């Protein structure tokens, strides 16, 4: 079997952790599998490098930033190779370039264009464990690029797709995907399986297990993922097209995203195109907008609210203020003390009553719902931030602990 494994920065943070991971890799290799292993930079390496850069230049070019950051993963693969060598195993480490990972020229947020698998196959044919630096590639200028946040997951999935791997295992510091954040909800249950779509909703809702991009890529190429722990040897959660649970369980998980803000544009002129002009201005600034509400005002104006990532809130306000006359509105306010609580489940679409159960749970806890958004696979509610953990626990009890 050809297995792609990926280990994140905390899994290789020091010599002890590296040895632990080497043990996991060795176990699979010695079972007779072909192994391709993707590693992230050790622990805080990336942050340390960013700090060094900031000392010299507050806004360095992304090209040079990628040149700097790419060294972190290169160090990880070399150190892991040495550890596996010490165990007497055949191993070779490859940077993104050597592994044939070609990206577009979008420094710091590059997309993988293609993977030239020639060298990978050559090394696998020699029965070597192949370690690949995650998060990086090279563009058509032969310059180093990095793939942006969660890039190592993307590297792993892309390699699994290109090599037609039988398995793609993403090792993290949690044991899998849970019905809710297990640190906050003691009754949270680990899921055996979950569909790509459910995982996508959970990831974008702040579940922070897998980056959306890697899940999208996995869905597109039909790469079956397994999320599991590098510290506890136990089966994790499989992410695939169709999950076994689909029929029996309508709800997969409950996620909280506290890094959101509500922007309210007050007294927007009630004439055709006003809403479009507001949203278009924000979208053209590259800001994603989620959940839009228009409330009819008493006069000829409407108040309009939408949700953005907290980090984008100021930029969204600025963009609108700059166009205040053109758009036509009175004032803008921002509320960062909100959270988005989402209930996700591919089974939701064929069922009525899920929403009412959610509302019931929140009502029991006297939590006020500010905004609601529903899709075929999720229901999201915006509530005040202070109630969010209590709300998640209450909804979780309703669905999973009855």
Chain residues that interact with a second copy, rule: CB under 8 A: 15, 18-19, 49, 52-53, 55-58, 60-61, 63-65, 67-68, 70-71, 74-75, 77-79, 81-83, 85-86, 92-93, 95, 97-98, 119, 142-144
**According to DSSP H, which parts of 203-353 are helical?**
212-221, 274-284, 313-321, 324-327
Please say which residue, 17 or 396, places its beta carbon nearer to a second copy.
Answer: 17
Please answer whether residues 22 and 84 qualify as being in contact, where contact means their C-beta atoms are separated by less than 8 angstroms.
yes
Tokens 């722990």 — which residue?
Answer: 229
**Residue 288: helix, strand or coil by DSSP?**
coil
**DSSP class of 244:** G
CB of residue 12 to a second copy, shortest distance in Å: 11
**DSSP class of 12:** G
Q: Which residues of 345-369 are buried (b: 16+ CB within 10 A; e: fewer)?
A: bbbbeeeeebeebbbebbeeeebee
Could you give the C-alpha distances from 126 to 30, 35, 84, 117, 242, in angstroms and in order? 15, 12, 16, 14, 36
Please say which residue, 52 or 164, places its beta carbon nearer to a second copy.
Answer: 52
Facing residues of 334 across strands? 263
CB of residue 114 to a second copy, shortest distance in Å: 17
Facing residues of 333 across strands? 264
CB of residue 56 to a second copy, shortest distance in Å: 4
Please say which residue, 95 or 195, places its beta carbon nearer to a second copy.
Answer: 95
Please say which residue, 100 or 347, places its beta carbon nearer to a second copy.
Answer: 100
Secondary structure in 3-state letters for 300-324: CEEEEEEEEEHHHHHHHHHHHHCCH
CB of residue 229 to a second copy, shortest distance in Å: 22
CB of residue 120 to a second copy, shortest distance in Å: 13
Please say which residue, 119 or 323, places its beta carbon nearer to a second copy.
Answer: 119
Please say which residue, 76 or 154, places its beta carbon nearer to a second copy.
Answer: 76
State which H helix or E strand residue 264 sits in: strand 260-269
Please say which residue, 64 or 384, places its beta carbon nearer to a second copy.
Answer: 64
CB of residue 48 to a second copy, shortest distance in Å: 10
CB of residue 22 to a second copy, shortest distance in Å: 8
Tokens 């602990």 — which residue?
Answer: 401
Q: What is the CA radius of gyration of the chain?
A: 23
């Amino acid at each position: 079997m050809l297995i792609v494994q990926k280990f994140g920065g905390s899994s290789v943070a020091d010599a002890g952790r590296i040895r632990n991971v080497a043990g996991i890799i060795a176990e699979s290799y010695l079972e007779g599998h072909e192994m391709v292993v993707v590693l992230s930079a050790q622990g805080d390496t990336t942050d340390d490098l960013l700090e060094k850069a900031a000392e010299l230049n507050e806004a360095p070019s992304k090209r040079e930033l990628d040149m700097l950051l790419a060294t972190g993963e290169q160090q990880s693969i070399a150190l892991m190779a040495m550890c596996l060598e010490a165990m007497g195993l055949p191993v070779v480490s490859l940077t993104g370039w050597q592994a044939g990972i070609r990206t577009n020229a979008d420094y710091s947020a590059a997309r993988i264009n293609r993977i030239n698998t020639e060298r990978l196959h050559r090394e696998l044919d020699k029965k070597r464990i192949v370690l690949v630096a995650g998060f990086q590639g090279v563009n058509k200028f032969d310059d180093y690029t990095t793939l942006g946040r969660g890039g190592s997951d993307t590297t792993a999935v892309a390699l699994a797709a290109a090599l037609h791997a039988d398995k793609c295992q993403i090792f993290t510091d949690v044991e899998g995907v849970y019905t809710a954040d297990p640190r906050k909800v003691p009754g949270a249950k680990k899921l055996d399986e979950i569909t790509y779509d459910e995982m996508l909703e959970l990831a974008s809702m702040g579940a922070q297990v897998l980056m959306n991009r890697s899940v999208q890529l996995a869905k597109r190429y039909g790469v079956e993922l397994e999320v599991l722990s590098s510290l506890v040897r136990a089966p994790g959660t499989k992410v695939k097209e169709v999950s076994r649970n689909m029929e029996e369980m309508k709800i997969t998980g409950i996620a909280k995203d506290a890094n959101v803000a509500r922007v309210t544009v007050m007294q927007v002129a009630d004439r055709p195109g006003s809403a479009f002009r507001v949203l278009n201005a924000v979208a053209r600034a590259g800001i994603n907008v989620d959940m839009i509400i228009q409330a009819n005002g008493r006069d000829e104006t409407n108040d309009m609210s939408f949700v953005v990532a907290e980090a984008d809130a100021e930029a969204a306000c600025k963009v609108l203020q700059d166009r205040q006359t053109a758009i036509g509105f009175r004032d803008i306010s921002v509320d960062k003390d909100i959270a988005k609580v989402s209930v996700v489940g591919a089974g939701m679409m064929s069922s009525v009553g899920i929403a009412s159960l959610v509302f019931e749970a929140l009502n029991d806890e006297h939590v006020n719902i500010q905004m609601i958004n529903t899709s075929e696979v999720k229901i999201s509610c915006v509530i005040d931030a202070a109630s969010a953990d209590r709300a998640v626990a209450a909804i979780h009890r309703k669905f999973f602990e009855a």
